Chain A
Amino acid sequence: SYVLTQPPSVSVAPGQTARITCGGNNIGSKSVHWYQQKPGQAPVLVVYDDSDRPSGIPERFSGSNSGNTATLTISRVEAGDEADYYCQVWDSSSDHPMFGGGTKLTVL
């Protein structure tokens, strides 16, 4: 089945830019979705279809996808952005959704 690889952790200072990657074989050919999960809470969709934002999600959250890497970019990081972030695609080979292992974003 399709494997999505995320770094376990990313650290960034407040006000800086965080980039969280999601690697997969030719992931650029797939639609990638990103979720934010804070402790004790359900995941929240923050980016869908590579780079679109649901209503209510700040413009600071953006996404890109090309080649073998998709990236979630969080600009002007705030303390409230500290959370786990998961990427997700539809795996056509196994015909079901797949999630990355998650990345813990720490705001220093």
Chain B
Amino acid sequence: QVQLQESGPGLVKPSQTLSLTCTVSGGSISSGGYYWSWIRQHPGKGLEWIGYIYYSGSTYYNPSLKSRVTISVDTSKNQFSLKLSSVTAADTAVYYCAREGDSSGAFDIWGQGTMVTVSS
């Protein structure tokens, strides 16, 4: 079955760019029918959708983060990536990648999540 796995640095300095990658196994991003999303969860808080990408490269971002977010896809590696620029301590969170069905809008598969701390 399809599995997602996040990877990337667990510590990022303020003002730098947070970069994470999600590797998809057991299925192909290129098969279509799904949006590939990034979602984060601040410590002890709820879930915040960051944005998604379709295999074609079409993207959509949360308006509150849009100016700092870039999501890209590498279909040859079956991966999609998140870049969040100019980070501050407020970006400290667990970052999840997730698959969203383009018909239902539900996030049916999630990665295990990766904790990213912004600190000098």
- Chain A residues with CB under 8 Å of B46's CB are 86, 99-102
- Tell me what chain A mostly uses at the interface: helix, strand, loop, or mixed: strand
A42:B60 contact, CB within 8 angstroms: no
Q: Are A49 and B107 in contact (CB under 8 A)?
A: no
A-B contact count (CB 8 A): 56
Return the contact of A44 from the options B47, B104, B110, B111 (Cβ within 8 A): B110
Interface bin, chain B: 10 to 19
For chain B, residues 83 to 120, give those with C-beta under 8 angstroms from any C-beta of chain A. Answer: 96, 100, 104-108, 110-113
User: Which residues of chain B have C-beta atoms less than 8 A from A42's C-beta?
Assistant: 96, 110-113
Q: Does B7 contact A (CB under 8 A)?
A: no
Query: When each residue 11-47 of chain A gets 1 if its CB lies under 8 Å from chain B and 0 otherwise, what string results?
Result: 0000000000000000000010101000001111100
Tell me the complex Cα distance, A88–B105, Å: 9
In order of increasing CB-CB distance, the 5 nearest A-B pairs are A48-B106, A33-B106, A42-B110, A99-B47, A90-B105
